[in-house]
Amino acid sequence: MMIDVRHVHHQDATRGFDTEALRRNYLVERLFEPGMVLLTYSHVERFVIGGATPVTVPLALESDKATIGSPNFLDRRELGVFNIGGAGKVSVDGVAHALGNRDAIYVPMGTKEVLFTSDSADVPARFYLLSTPAHARYETKVVRIAQAKKMLLGEAATANRRTIYQMIHPDVVTSCQLVMGMTQLDEGNVWNTMPCHVHDRRSEVYLYFDLMADARVIHLMGQPTQTRHIVVADGQAVISPPWSIHSGCGTRAYTFIWGMGGDNIDYTDMDMVAMDQLK
């Protein structure tokens, strides 16, 4: 297991970042490498963003003294796991839960052991992980893509026709502060979260996937009057602090997993940004 650490930067400092500084501080490039658990600890909401790609042997989610500071990773944390690869299993304290492609599982605070396995080494699972601090223990719950709260939004005329799947969400799963779901754009649609918004009460992480090797998403971030962009490839994530917009336009359709943590779990709590405010 490897863990990287990202610190918090004030929005005034971020204005002066060049391309490499933006990518170094806000883009998580390494998530899915065969046989490894790769984690990034962000001081924004104390998110832990990670990927586990088991091949022939199980992979364990282990604690880290310097960042997590407790004997077990989930002693004071909760965890959401989405499978974006081949079929696999997530074992929670010895109980194996099968996850197909696009299925998710919520793992509560107090869990001692989490193991990741793939059903086939030829088509390994790719488990995306997002964790936030927790204050209470709730129930482990698997959420199949078919069980998600589903919303159809957007239209072809604005190139943002999409399906939102709310999965680790108050209407589906009880959690402390972690809220997660998935947005899939229809073929020929490329925009997400435009018109855009901010929410100073929460921060967010976007994982982009379903992108071919030569496709990219131009992720927009920054204050509404001081926008910046990051070019994102398949299987990479962007950390979005509370003062930043989070929107994107792809070279073709794509899917992304959104995850939030902060003062509330209200998916609709957002401050919209008028188009004439953007610069």
Tokens standing for 77?
Answer: 């944390």
Q: DSSP string covering 192-237, please?
A: ES-S-EE-TTEEEEEEEES--TT--EEEEEEETTEEEEEEE-TTEE
Q: How many structural domains compose the chain?
A: 1
Q: Tell me the two tokens of residue 212.
A: 């071919």
Measured between alpha carbons, how far is residue 121 from residues 87, 116, 130 in Å? 10, 13, 24
Residue ranges of the binding site: 197, 199, 204, 246
pTM of the model: 0.96
- Give the pLDDT score at 267: 80
Residue 239's closest CA among 41, 12, 13?
A: 41
The rounded distance, in Å, linking the Cα atoms of 217 and 251 is 6
pLDDT per residue, tens digit, the chain (279 aa), is 889 999 999 999 999 999 999 999 999 999 999 999 999 999 999 999 999 999 999 999 999 988 999 999 999 999 999 999 999 999 999 999 999 999 999 999 999 999 999 999 999 999 999 999 999 999 999 999 999 999 999 999 999 999 999 999 999 999 999 999 999 999 999 999 898 899 888 899 999 999 999 999 999 999 999 999 999 999 999 999 999 999 999 999 999 999 999 888 888 888 899 999 999
pLDDT value for 263: 87
Q: Which run of H or of E encompasses 13? A: helix 11-14
CATH number of the domain at 224, please: 2.60.120.10
Binding site for Zn(2+), residues?
Answer: 197, 199, 204, 246
CA-nearest of 244, 133, 132 to 199 is 244
The residue range of the domain holding 82 is: 2-277
How far apart CA 179 and CA 155 sit, in angstroms, is: 25
* The 3-state secondary structure of 234-262, one letter per residue: CCEEEEECCCCCCEEEECCCCEEEEEEEE
Q: How far is CA 18 from CA 13, 75, 230, in A?
A: 11, 38, 11
- The whole-number pLDDT of residue 266 equals 80
